[in-house]
Chains A and B, each alone.
Chain A
């Protein structure tokens, strides 16, 4: 099937193959640069996420794409839709903020979070804003998220990946399909790789 392609390769020489590989690598590298650059601009570790659960219906369905920002100079307000990650759980959760409590720096926030750690907060970690304690709830759930917090009483700013600013429906379904059915992922990646290598223009 590929004998013609292989013959053409041998004719063009080893350099040509190297050039193709370089093209491939530069495409991947520029994709990565754009992703990381977006992460820096929005100050969020993952500025584009796919909705995984149905707990925010009818606003967001599984497979919708969300654009996040994480302004360090702004406080979160009630009504903001935030994506957060509980340490110990790998899945980011998209829910709405129901309560905010802004605790000024003069009060030790550990009194309210019942945190057992004795360490003081790192100097570079915080901005000029007060600490915040947040409680969230999904629109489609009857009760708030306390059970999801894995022992925490309140969420803090450090748990939050970002706040939802914009929204694109259905586009993310490809990622969910690829996660549910890994053969699809390998088939797609394999097909793309093969196509990139045998293309000659």
Chain B
């Protein structure tokens, strides 16, 4: 019990047990918070044009361009264990052929409580396209704003903040911009 080796052994064992207990306590403490943020999503317009995607420069397919308004407040989700919140707006629809689709068209990372009040009038960042390369079989789509909380230590949680009140249809393809 008095050699240096034994002392180092005991100290490091105690250090690692305390560290693990502390991390477990931090991770479990965030289960106490059950705040649900509220928000509003509305789609101003949807337009469908024919375009190329990056991979095959000569393959034409229909792309949908969506203009939307989002207002939401995520401040209640921030606590000592929140590292960042990842927001994403996704379009959801089931085609008449039976395929269920969900595609993220816009996202944002919030790292501090001061930025947590979101008020965005924007358009989609990412291409919205269908597997069958056109939107003829696509019924009106719902758009929902979801979030993912990433902690400093512990489990990741997901949730939905807002959704369009009624589905928004895809118009027929326009040939001229």
Q: How far is the CA of A137 from the CA of B106 in the complex (A)?
A: 12
On whether the beta carbons of A98 and B104 are closer than 8 Å, the reply is yes
Does A196 sit at the interface, judged by CB under 8 A? Answer: no
Interface residues of A (CB under 8 A from B): 58-59, 77-79, 81, 96, 98-104, 106-107, 112, 130, 133, 137, 139, 143-144, 146, 164-169
How many Å from the CB of A116 to the closest CB on chain B?
17
Task: Tell me how many residue pairs across A and B have CB atoms closer than 8 Å.
Answer: 79
Q: Residues of B contacting A59 with CB < 8 Å?
A: 83-84, 86, 109, 150
Is residue B136 within 8 Å, beta carbon to beta carbon, of the partner chain? no
B131 neighbours in A (Cβ, 8 Å): 101, 112, 133
Task: Give the number of chain B interface residues (Cβ < 8 Å).
Answer: 32
Dominant SS among interface residues on chain B: strand
Q: Contact: A79 with B99, CB < 8 Å?
A: no
Given contacts A58-B84, A58-B111, A146-B55, contact A166 B154 (CB under 8 A): yes
- Known A-B contacts A78-B102, A98-B126, A103-B99; the reply to A165 vs B84 at CB < 8 A is no
- Give bound CA distance, A59 to B85, whole Å: 9
Contact B101–A99 (Cβ < 8 Å): yes
- A168 and B148 in contact (CB under 8 A), knowing A78-B90, A98-B104? no
- Whether A99 touches B103, Cβ cut-off 8 Å, given contacts A59-B83, A139-B109, A169-B153, is yes
Taken together as a complex, chains A and B put the C-alpha atoms of A137 and B107 apart, in Å, by: 11
Q: Indicate if B23 sits at the interface (CB-CB under 8 A).
A: yes
The smallest beta-carbon distance between A55 and chain B, in angstroms, is 13
**B interface list, Cβ under 8 A from A:** 23, 27, 54-55, 83-84, 86, 88, 90, 97-104, 107, 109, 111, 126, 131, 146, 148, 150-156, 158
B99 to chain A: closest CB distance in Å?
A: 5
Q: Are A167 and B153 in contact (CB under 8 A)?
A: yes
With beta carbons under 8 angstroms apart, the residue of A99, A102, A166, A169 that contacts B104 is A99
- The complex places the Cα of A165 from the Cα of B158 at a distance, in Å, of 11
CA–CA, A112 to B61, complex, Å? 14
Partner of A164, one of B23, B83, B107, B156: B156
* Given A79-B104, A165-B155, A104 contacting B99 (CB threshold 8 A): yes
A-B contact pairs, 29 of them (CB 8 A): A58-B84, A59-B86, A59-B150, A77-B102, A78-B102, A78-B103, A78-B146, A79-B86, A79-B158, A98-B103, A98-B104, A98-B126, A99-B102, A100-B100, A100-B101, A100-B103, A102-B99, A102-B101, A103-B99, A104-B98, A107-B97, A137-B126, A146-B54, A166-B156, A167-B153, A167-B155, A167-B156, A168-B23, A169-B153
